[in-house]
Amino acid sequence: MAFRTLACAGKNTFGSVLHAVLPVKQSVCTSMLPCLGLSAAKHFSLSSQNNVKKIIVDESEKVTTISAEYVESPLAPRLLKKGKEGSHDCPLCALNLNVKHTDVLILSQFLRPDGCLLPRRTTGLCTKQQLRIKYLVTMSQKAGLMPNLAPSWSKKDPRKRYGSKKFNRYFDEATLD
Amino acid sequence: MSAARRVQQWATFGRMWYLYDAKWQNPLDSADKIKLYLSGSHKPIYHPLSNCGDHVVVMNSRDIALPGIEWEKRVYFHHSGYPGGASWTLAWELHQKDPTLLLRKTVYNKLDKNLLRRGLMARLHIFPDDKIPDSILKNISGQIRQLRQVPTRLDHIPEEKVKSFPRIFEWPKDYVIQ
C-alpha cells in the first residue's frame, strides 16, 4: 500500500480537505495512475470542480505534487476572428461559411480526441449552428472521413466495418435546412 | 488526301477509349455520363445506326459512393425463370458479391432499350480497383472528368496542414485541456 501526500498549489482548489495524508488502497492506486499521468484523461477532484486550464504533476521521491495553473491557450495565435473579451457571439455565424460534411479540418475542431462533440458552453456557438455542426459531424463520421477521432476500441479503418457500413457514402447538406 | 485532312478524318471517325475513375462517385450520375460516350451522343457526327460509340474503361468501381442510406434501401430484382425464382437483393449485398455488377446494371438500365444496347455494353469495361490489364491500358486515349469532388480523410491530410489550419473558436477560460 502506498501513501501519497497531495498538496494544493496555485489557483486551483481541490478543497482544503486534501491537506491530510490519504491512505491509498491498491484499487484506487491503479485508477489514479491515468489521472496522474501527463495526459489527464479524467478529472480528479473530491470537492466541487474548479476546472482549470492545465494540471501539472510533479513527482519526486516520496511526494507527488499535483498543481494547476492557467496557461496561455495554444489556439490563440491561429484564431480567425478575434471577438471582444467576454463576447457571446457565435463564431460560425460571424464567419458566414458554407460548411460541408467533407470539410474535415473545420469539423474536427469541434470534436474531442475520442470523437465526441464539445458542448455548447465550450464551443460558444448558437443553438442553430451547434445543431448543424452536430448533424454535419454525424454525416462525416458515417462517411468514414475522420477515423482517427474515434474511441480507442473502434476500428480505425472504415473498410473494416461490418456489412453495408464498409462502403463509401456521401450526404446532401441541403437536407439539413 | 492531304496530311491535315487525314488527321481530321482519324480524329472524327476513330474509336476512342476513355478512362473513368469511379472512386467516391454516384453510380447513377456516372452512368448518365458514361451512356453518352458509349452511344456516341457526345459527337457532332452522331447517328444511332452509324456505330460511332466509344469504349469506356471504368476503374475503382468498388469505391463508388451512394447517398445517405441507399446502400441499405436500394434493391435489385432478379428472376431465375423458374417458378418462385424471384429475388430482391440489397445494393450492399450485391456489391459484396460482385463489385462491378452495380455499375454495370446501372449503365444497362440507363441505355436506350433497343437492340443496340447489348453491343454498347460490350464496349464498357469495368474493373473493381486500379488493376487494368495491359492490353486495355495501351488503348486508352482520353479521360472522362469525375462528377463529385473526392473527399480527403483527416488522417490523409499532412500533419503540418492540420496544425496550421486557422481556428474557428477559442477555448473558454475555464476549459481543461484533455
Residue pLDDT, tens place only, A131-147: 999 999 999 999 999 99
Q: What is the model's pLDDT at position A83?
A: 63
Q: Do B92 and A163 touch (CB under 8 A)?
A: yes
Give the chain B residue whose CA is nearest to the CA of A118: B171
* pLDDT score of B93: 97
Q: Where are the beta strands (DSSP E) in chain A?
A: 2-7, 21-24, 54-59, 64-69, 168-170
Is the model's pLDDT at B92 over the cut of 90?
yes
Mutation test of the interface with chain B: which of A56, A104, A135, choosing the one with the most B Cβ atoms within 10 A?
Answer: A104
Instruction: Work out how many CB contacts closer than 8 A connect A with B.
Output: 119
Residue B49 has pLDDT above 70, yes or no: yes
Nearest-neighbour CA in chain A from B66: distance (Å): 5
What percentage of chain B reaches a pLDDT higher than 90? Answer: 91
Per-residue pLDDT tens digits for B105-162: 999 999 999 999 999 999 999 999 999 999 999 999 999 999 999 999 999 999 999 9
Q: How many angstroms separate the CA atoms of B25 and B2, rounded?
A: 43
Average pLDDT over residues A78-97: 76
Instruction: Indicate the residue of B64, B172, B176 with minimum beta-carbon distance to A168.
Output: B64
CB neighbour list of residue A147: distance below 8 Å, 6 or more residues apart? A156, A157, A158, B153, B154, B155
Has this prediction a pTM greater than 0.80? no
Q: Decide if B92 and A164 are in contact by the 8 Å CB cutoff.
A: yes
User: Looking at B70-74, B121-125, B137-141, B164-168, which range is the least confident one?
Assistant: B164-168
> Residue B161: its chain A contacts at CB < 8 A?
105
Task: Identify which has the larger pLDDT, A3 or B132.
Answer: B132
CB atoms within 10 A of CB B157: 14
Which chain A residues contact residue B94 at CB under 8 A? Answer: none
Q: What is the DSSP string of chain B?
A: --HHHHHHHHHHHSPPEEEEE-TT--HHHHHHHHHHHHHTTTSTT--TTS----EEEEE-GGG-EEETTHHHH-EEEEE-SSTT-EEEEEHHHHHHH-TTHHHHHHHHHHS-SSTHHHHHHHTEEE-SSS---HHHHTT--EEPPPSSPPPPPGGGS-HHHHHHSPBSS---TTPPP-
Q: What is the pLDDT of residue B107?
A: 98
Q: How far is B14 from chain A (nearest CA, A)?
A: 36
pLDDT of residue A129: 94
Cα–Cα nearest to A134, from A119, A114, A152: A119
Q: What is the pLDDT of residue A53?
A: 62
Test B153 with A78 for CB contact under 8 angstroms: no
Banded model confidence at residue A86, pLDDT cuts 50, 70, 90: low
By three-state DSSP, how is residue A103 classified? coil
Contact with chain B for residue A56, Cβ under 8 A: no
Q: Is B2 on the interface with A (CB under 8 A)?
A: no
Q: Does B144 touch chain A (CB under 8 A)?
A: no
Nearest by CB to residue B154, choosing from A92, A110, A146, is A146
For residue A173, give every residue at least 6 positions away whose Cβ sits within 8 Å of its Cβ, in sequence order, or none. A100, A101, A136, A139
* Residue of A169, A171, A175 to mutate for B, most B C-beta atoms under 10 A: A169
pLDDT at A35: 41
pLDDT above 90: residue A15: no
**ipTM for the assembly:** 0.88
